[in-house]
């Protein structure tokens, strides 16, 4: 059962994404007619997903696939399995993906998909049947030259393998490029699973460098310990940072001297919860937002920093590992307080960048070494950060508005060049 706050957040997500678009467009003089086009999604599909449960009963889930824009190329975006998935939240995530791909210079538009479910209460067999039926329902919407899904919250390489197999069976031959984030044995890319965390690290390194600081010695709090947060925690410690707080959906722990990330990862691997981790004092996810630290990294879900808690943030940098973790109202508060927000379209773009690499490798059927993947990822993130920082300083706007301006401007340019048909 969703809480009232979760229902409000999921239903308002698309309106907030549209608000961010219009504010960025107004700041940088993008034509109103173009803004009206970009404010809406090109296609949104809602499907019924009935499956047979392990006990023989039939349960019907609801799935979505949304294409926001494809002016720059086929659309790209993850598939989310979570109780809070709605059509509006999926539209918002698709829009953010459009700006993210354009900011990174990728030849993709934005898309997103999902199924409203709790994957943690489904058996492996139920997850597979859910995935294969959902894929069958959207099989005409996806494809390597049309729309390429990837993992997101609640999904993983195994889910991507089922999508790849189901789509390929429908086509009569293997189609490596239909989905990214696959296991290595079926056309996945080295470095894909850790890509978002690595990209966030590269982004943070660039930001700290501009502020005459380093990752080494920085104190970091990370909300969310899934694929993004756990990888980010590990690589930050490797770079000399001290991770003072971590959390998952059950809560978390705080230790001013630093958390043993290896031990925390081991506990999670065994199915343990971070609120039961013995390496620090127990805290809630809400308390983590206000932890005394240099860098706050929200790496879980949307809208965890809002107008009610933004004034309590003590970090000097907010590194958005999640999609849309900060509301526009909170953005304004953080900006007024001089806190640098490294926006999601920049900070967590590593995943889609390496998904692009996987797509290219699949089309070529030629795969790269891991060091090549990391080097090319760092080059793209560093270039995107530099472009954003220049606009941020030259126009005296937040990093979010600067990133949006670049992303929206590039999509608007492509749309204008292509024109309207007919």
One of 112, 182, 268, 314 is an active-site residue; which one?
112
d(CA 62, CA 11): 16
101-125 exposure pattern, b = at least 16 Cβ within 10 A, e = fewer: bbbbebebbbbbbbbbbebeebeee
Tell me the β-bridge partners of 147. Answer: 75, 143
3-state helix, strand, coil in the chain (%, to 5): 50, 20, 35
Instruction: Using DSSP, state whether 57 is helix, strand or coil.
Output: coil
For CA atoms 3, 5, 9, 15, the dihedral sign is: positive
d(CA 166, CA 174): 10
Structure tokens at 179: 């989905």
CA dihedral 109, 110, 115, 119 (to 10 degrees): 100
Q: Which of 88, 221, 177 is nearest to 361 (CA)?
A: 177
Q: Give one DSSP letter per residue of 238-301, joined into a string.
A: HTT-EEEEEEETTEEEE-TT---HHHHHHHHHTT--GGG-SSSEEE-HHHHHT---SEEEE-SS
Query: In sequence order, what are the residues at sequence separation of 6 or more whose Cβ sits closer than 8 angstroms to the Cβ of residue 107?
Result: 72, 73, 356
d(CA 236, CA 205): 10
CB 235 within 8 A of CB 197: yes
Cα dist. 347→64, 194, 204 in Å? Answer: 26, 14, 8
Cis peptide before 422 (omega within 30 of 0): yes
Is residue 112 annotated as a catalytic residue, yes or no?
yes
CB 344 within 8 A of CB 322: yes
Query: In sequence order, what are the residues at sequence separation of 6 or more whose Cβ sits closer than 8 angstroms to the Cβ of residue 231?
Result: 193, 194, 196, 197, 198
Q: Which of 235, 193, 238, 258 is nearest to 246 (CA)?
A: 258
Instruction: Using DSSP, state whether 224 is helix, strand or coil.
Output: coil
Catalytic machinery residues: 112
């Amino acid at each position: 059962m969703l809480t009232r706050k979760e229902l409000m957040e999921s239903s308002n997500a698309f309106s907030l994404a549209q608000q961010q678009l219009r504010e960025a467009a107004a700041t940088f003089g993008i034509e109103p007619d173009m803004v009206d086009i970009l404010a809406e999604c090109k296609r949104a599909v809602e499907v019924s997903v009935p499956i047979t449960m392990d006990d023989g009963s039939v349960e019907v889930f609801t799935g979505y696939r949304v294409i926001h824009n494809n002016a720059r190329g086929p659309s790209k975006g993850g598939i989310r399995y979570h109780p809070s998935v709605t059509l509006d939240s999926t539209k918002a995530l698709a829009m953010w993906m459009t700006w993210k791909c354009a900011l990174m210079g990728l030849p993709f538009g934005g898309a997103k998909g999902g199924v409203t479910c709790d994957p943690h209460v489904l058996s492996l067999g139920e997850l597979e049947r859910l995935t294969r039926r959902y894929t069958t329902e959207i099989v005409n919407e996806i494809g390597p030259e049309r729309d390429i899904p990837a993992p997101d919250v609640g999904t993983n390489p195994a889910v991507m393998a089922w999508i790849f197999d189901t789509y390929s069976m429908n086509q009569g031959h293997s189609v490596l490029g239909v989905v990214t984030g696959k296991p290595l044995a079926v056309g996945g890319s080295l470095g894909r699973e850790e890509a978002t965390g690595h990209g966030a690290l590269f982004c943070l390194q660039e930001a700290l460098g501009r502020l005459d600081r380093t990752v080494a010695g920085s104190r970091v709090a990370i909300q969310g310990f899934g694929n993004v947060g756990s990888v980010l925690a590990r690589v930050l410690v490797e770079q000399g940072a001290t991770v003072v707080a971590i959390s998952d959906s059950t809560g978390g722990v705080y230790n001013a001297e630093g958390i043993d990330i290896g031990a925390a990862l081991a506990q999670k691997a065994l199915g343990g919860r971070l609120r039961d981790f013995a390496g620090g004092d127990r805290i809630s996810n809400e308390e983590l937002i206000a932890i005394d630290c240099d860098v706050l990294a929200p790496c879980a879900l949307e809208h965890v920093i809002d107008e009610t808690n933004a004034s309590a943030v003590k970090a000097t940098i907010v590194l958005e590992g999640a999609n849309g973790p900060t509301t526009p109202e909170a953005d304004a508060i953080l900006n007024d307080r001089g806190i640098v927000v490294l926006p999601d379209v920049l900070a967590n773009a590593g995943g889609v960048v390496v998904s692009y690499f996987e797509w290219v490798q699949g089309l070529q059927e030629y795969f790269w070494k891991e060091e090549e993947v990391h080097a090319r990822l760092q080059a793209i993130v560093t270039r995107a950060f530099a472009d954003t920082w220049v606009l941020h300083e030259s126009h005296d706007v937040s990093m979010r508005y600067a990133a949006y301006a670049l992303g929206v401007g590039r999509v608007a340019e492509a749309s204008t060049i292509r024109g309207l048909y007919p």
